[in-house]
């Protein structure tokens, strides 16, 4: 039996409203935290839970919280990262649309733990209707005494506001998000100092993903140890996977970490196999930034073990034969997909979204797009393939923020695993049967 | 970087004066109040969304200058933001802005064909506006709806699992609506901000 934490009550009619959410046990964690726990105890439980950030980087949440600079005399802030722009990722949207109070509840407990009096939810500008849903949830929480001044009669006051982005993938990077919240261009900051020391308006700030924060209520209620019973080994808890591409059942699924990729891909309760009975060609397992893997390597590691949805198993083999769990954006390619065209498409994305601060990223993403476009259009040269590898290698690790790496990995991994397809495009461009 | 051309000469300034309606001003004050004292610049992104909606559908220099005045910041601080984010339009757009997703997951589910079909049906290229001013077609990056690919967004509405037939139907409806005498003013900012 599949165990769920986040989407357990998703089918309850009216779960989007405060009343119904509350009747399923919602907001109990706020009562428990404020009445029976100290902020540090909440942080301790989150540490014990083993919860790792669900936004992509997978940094342990409790550890990030413990970095908050307690000596600073500036106000502290919690920012919820709802920018969700990583291609293939649409789980946060699902969560906020269906069960927004889960996020608000988690944010209240998190603000309490961090000593933050203000939380902002930074929502990508394209999700306008989500902003309406969140504002309504905040209004309800306020009206019922769980938000605002003197929560539940305590001396603690918390405000949560929704802030809208305006179309920029880079604002999902935490320091770019802070800049953007301050009303500026989304240019990432050089770290250190980390946001936990100098963040929003110079105050200590924690940025966490929607899904990360939505887990906090459960952890407060049931304890970190109970949370850690979910999942597998060090990959504790559940993960929302947004599955898309050439599959029968695209959608958002909550899986317990440790599920096998094969089962997820072929079981009718998840993806239900490849559409139109085609063969599987490749998968990008964790959002467009992580390395693409060919069918054999996504189902099994290079050493022949079953590939599982855990941070460790997906990374098994490093960049030679592994990938990453990332944001949980699971993109499936069938046998007809053209890897060259897809790689060009993603290179164009990163070029478009580079903020332009660092030359390796600004120039390199442009060159990768151009060279790939040339190959895709039948004007490629054999040495272009190594040229791409070399550009990718020169971007990686040489930039202010990880967007540079995120742009380099898809190109490097596509060539690593599908070099023959690139060569074929250079030598016999007419043979690519792909008709868009 | 955004391939947005800044073919938006500042000498295009016409010194038109703009003013939010009283009702919008109430909203604006509420938004500014979400940020700490002295941090009113944080309200810039939301206010630009509202200004774009309320005035001409795009951000002219005069509109940007007005917003700068409201927030007590320099006009350049508004220009640098408006040119960075892809949802702000610097040139006039049609009544309906069609944003078709062009990124990988949509592309492998037929997104490119849908973009081609839109161009054909509207008889314009991506980036252009129909002569009657009804539609502007733009190609955008992942809209966060890849599970329902191919996807497009028109104004604030998402349209998913696109087919040619569906596109025909959507465009027919929007064309019909535009012909109705009193165009209903979009209410999204009442609901959403
Ligand atoms: C280019 C770029 C885009 C990112 N986009 C997102 C995003 O859309 N959503 C998100 O939660 N994290 C995103 N991240 C990761 C954030 O920087 C940050 O690690 C995360 O929000 C931290 O939250 P977590 O620890 O709860 O995952 C992005 C990072 C980079 C470098
Ligand atoms: S790596 Fe790219 S996106 Fe990140 S700061 Fe540098 S130029 Fe900007
Ligand atoms: S790729 Fe089109 S919505 Fe994500």
For residue A435, the model assigns a pLDDT of 60
For residue B54, the model assigns a pLDDT of 93
pLDDT digits (tens, 9 = 90+) for B38-77: 999 999 999 999 999 999 899 999 999 999 999 999 999 9
Which protein residue's CA is at the shortest distance from atom 10 of ligand 1? Answer: A55
Write the ipTM: 0.95
Angle at alpha carbon of residue A23, lines to A20 and A25, rounded to 5°: 120
Question: What does the alpha-carbon distance between residue A327 and residue B44 come to, in Å, rounded to a whole number?
Answer: 29
Ligand 1 neighbours by CB, cut-off 6 Å: A 53-57, 59, 81, 83-86, 169-170, 172-174, 207-209, 212, 401-403, 406
Ligand 1 centre to CA of A85 (Å) is 9
Contact criterion met (CB < 8 Å) for B1 and A250: no
Question: What does the alpha-carbon distance between residue A406 and residue A154 come to, in Å, rounded to a whole number?
Answer: 45
Give the contacts of A359 (CB within 8 A, at least 6 positions apart).
none
A203, closest residue in chain B (CA to CA): B36
Ligand 1 centre to CA of A378 (Å) is 36
For residue B192, the model assigns a pLDDT of 54
Contact criterion met (CB < 8 Å) for B49 and A135: no
For residue A429, the model assigns a pLDDT of 87
| Mutate which: B118, B142, B191, vs A, most A CBs within 10 A | B142
Beta strand pairing call for B152-154 and B157-159: antiparallel
Q: Which of residues 238-267 of A touch B (CB under 8 A)?
A: 242-246, 250-252
Give the contacts of B25 (CB within 8 A, at least 6 positions apart).
none
Angle between helices B75-82 and B44-54 (to 10 degrees): 80
Q: How far from each other are the two terminal CA atoms of chain B, in whole angstroms?
A: 28
Question: What does the alpha-carbon distance between residue A96 and residue A129 come to, in Å, rounded to a whole number?
Answer: 10
In chain B, pLDDT over 90 holds for what percent of residues? 81
For residue B7, the model assigns a pLDDT of 52
- At residue B193 the predicted structure's pLDDT band, cuts being 50, 70 and 90, is low
Q: Which of A175, A358, A359 is the pocket-test mutation for ligand 2 (most atoms within 8 Å of CB)? A: A358
Q: Which of B49, B71, B145 sits opposite A166 (nearest CB)?
A: B49
Give the contacts of A317 (CB within 8 A, at least 6 positions apart).
A297, A301, A302, A303
Cβ contacts (< 8 Å) between B39 and chain A: which residues? 182, 201
Cβ contact A427:A381 at 8 Å: no
Q: Which of A209, A352, A361, A365 is the pocket-test mutation for ligand 1 (most atoms within 8 Å of CB)? A: A209
Q: Does A88 touch chain B (CB under 8 A)?
A: yes
Question: What does the alpha-carbon distance between residue A76 and residue B51 come to, in Å, rounded to a whole number?
Answer: 31
The answer, yes or no, to whether residue B191 has pLDDT greater than 80, is: no
List domains and CATH numbers for chain B. Answer: 9-84 (1.10.10.1590), 96-176 (3.40.30.10)
Cβ contact A401:A188 at 8 Å: yes
Q: How far from each other are the two terminal CA atoms of chain A, in whole angstroms?
A: 41
Cβ contact A241:A255 at 8 Å: yes
Q: What is chain B's mean pLDDT, rounded?
A: 90
Closest by CA position to A431, among listed A391, A384, A378, A392: A378
Greatest distance between any 2 Cα atoms in chain A: 73
For residue A41, the model assigns a pLDDT of 98
For residue B180, the model assigns a pLDDT of 77
Tell whether the torsion through CA atoms of A352, B101, A120 and B30 is positive or negative.
positive
Beta strand pairing call for A159-164 and A118-123: parallel
Question: What does the alpha-carbon distance between residue B191 and residue B53 come to, in Å, rounded to a whole number?
Answer: 13
Question: What does the alpha-carbon distance between residue A32 and residue A212 come to, in Å, rounded to a whole number?
Answer: 19
Q: Which of A131, A169, A243 sits opposite B141 (nearest CB)?
A: A169
Question: Quick one: how far is CA A231 from the chain centroid?
Answer: 18
Q: Which of B88, B143, B188 sits opposite A126 (nearest CB)?
A: B143
Q: Which of residues 154-173 of A touch B (CB under 8 A)?
A: 161, 163-169
The CA distance from A124 to the nearest CA of chain B, in Å, is 9
Strands ordered across the beta sheet of B157-159: B135-140, B96-101, B152-154, B157-159
Ligand 3 neighbours by CB, cut-off 6 Å: A 87; B 101, 103, 105-106, 142-146, 149, 151
The CA distance from B106 to the nearest CA of chain A, in Å, is 7
Q: Which of B48, B110, B156 sits opposite A129 (nearest CB)?
A: B156
Ligand 2 centre to CA of B160 (Å) is 32
The ligand 1 atom at the shortest distance from the C-alpha of residue A124 is 8
Cβ contacts (< 8 Å) between B143 and chain A: which residues? 126
Residue stretches of chain A with pLDDT short of 70: 1, 433-436
The count of CB pairs under 8 A between chains A and B is 162
For residue B181, the model assigns a pLDDT of 47
For residue B3, the model assigns a pLDDT of 47
Question: What does the alpha-carbon distance between residue A377 and residue A5 come to, in Å, rounded to a whole number?
Answer: 47
The CA distance from A368 to the nearest CA of chain B, in Å, is 14
Contact criterion met (CB < 8 Å) for B188 and A355: no
Q: Which of A132, A161, A288 sits opposite B192 (nearest CB)?
A: A132
The answer, yes or no, to whether residue B1 has pLDDT greater than 80, is: no
Q: Looking up tokens 């039996």, which residue turns up? A: A1
Structure tokens of A261? 């990729």
Q: Which of residues 178-197 of A touch B (CB under 8 A)?
A: 180-186
């Amino acid at each position: 039996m599949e165990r769920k934490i986040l989407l357990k009550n998703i089918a309850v009619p009216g779960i989007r409203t405060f009343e119904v959410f509350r009747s399923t046990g919602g907001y109990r964690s706020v009562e428990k935290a404020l009445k029976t726990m100290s902020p540090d105890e909440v942080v301790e439980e989150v540490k014990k839970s083993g919860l790792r950030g669900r936004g992509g980087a997978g940094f342990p949440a409790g550890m990030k919280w413990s970095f908050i600079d307690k000596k600073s005399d500036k106000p502290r802030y919690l920012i919820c990262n709802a920018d969700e722009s990583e291609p293939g990722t649409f789980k946060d949207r699902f969560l906020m649309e269906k069960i927004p109070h889960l996020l608000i509840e988690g944010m209240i407990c998190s603000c309490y733990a961090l000593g933050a009096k203000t939380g902002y939810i930074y929502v990508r500008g394209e999700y306008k209707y989500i902003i309406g849903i969140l504002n309504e949830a905040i209004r309800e929480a306020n009206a019922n005494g769980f938000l605002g001044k003197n929560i539940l009669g305590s001396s603690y006051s918390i405000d949560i506001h929704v802030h809208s982005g305006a179309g920029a993938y880079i604002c999902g990077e935490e320091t770019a998000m802070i800049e953007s919240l301050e009303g500026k261009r989304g240019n990432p900051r050089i770290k250190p100092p980390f946001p936990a020391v100098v963040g929003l308006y110079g105050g200590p700030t924690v940025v966490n993903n929607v899904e990360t924060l939505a887990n906090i209520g459960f952890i407060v209620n049931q304890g970190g140890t109970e949370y850690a019973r979910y999942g597998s080994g060090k990959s504790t808890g559940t993960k929302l996977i947004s599955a898309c591409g050439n599959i029968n059942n695209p959608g958002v699924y909550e899986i317990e970490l440790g599920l096998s990729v094969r089962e997820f891909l072929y079981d009718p309760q998840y993806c239900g196999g490849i559409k139109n009975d085609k063969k599987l060609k490749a998968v990008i397992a964790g959002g467009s930034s992580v390395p693409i893997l060919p069918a054999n390597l996504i189902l099994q590691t290079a050493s022949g073990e079953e590939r599982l949805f855990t941070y460790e198993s997906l990374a098994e083999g490093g960049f030679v034969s592994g990938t990453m769990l990332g944001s949980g954006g699971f993109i499936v390619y069938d046998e007809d997909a053209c890897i060259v065209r897809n790689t060009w498409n993603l290179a164009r994305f990163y070029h478009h979204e580079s903020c332009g601060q660092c030359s390796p990223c600004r120039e390199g993403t442009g060159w990768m797009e151009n060279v790939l476009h040339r190959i895709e259009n039948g004007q490629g040269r054999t040495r272009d393939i190594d040229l791409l590898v070399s550009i990718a290698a020169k971007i990686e690790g040489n930039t202010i923020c990880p967007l540079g790496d995120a742009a380099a990995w898809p190109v490097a991994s596509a060539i690593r695993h599908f070099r023959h397809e690139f060569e074929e495009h250079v030598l016999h461009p007419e043979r690519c049967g792909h008709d868009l | 970087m955004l391939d947005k051309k800044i073919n938006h000469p500042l000498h295009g300034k016409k010194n038109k004066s703009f003013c939010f309606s009283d009702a919008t001003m109430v909203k604006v004050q509420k938004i500014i109040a979400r940020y700490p004292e002295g941090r009113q610049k944080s309200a810039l992104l939301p206010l630009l969304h509202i200004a774009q909606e309320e005035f001409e559908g795009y951000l002219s220099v005069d509109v940007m200058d007005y917003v700068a005045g409201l927030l007590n910041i320099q006009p350049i601080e508004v220009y640098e933001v408006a040119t960075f984010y892809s949802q702000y339009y610097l040139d006039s757009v049609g009544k309906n802005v069609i944003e078709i997703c062009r990124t990988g997951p949509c592309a492998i589910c037929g997104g490119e064909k849908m973009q081609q079909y839109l161009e054909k049906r509207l008889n314009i290229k991506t980036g252009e506006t129909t002569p009657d001013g009804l539609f502007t077609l733009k190609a955008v990056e992942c809209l966060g709806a890849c599970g329902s690919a191919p996807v497009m967004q028109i104004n604030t509405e998402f349209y998913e699992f696109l087919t040619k037939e569906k596109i025909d139907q959507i465009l027919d409806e929007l064309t019909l609506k535009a012909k109705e005498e009193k165009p209903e003013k979009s209410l999204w900012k009442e609901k959403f901000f």
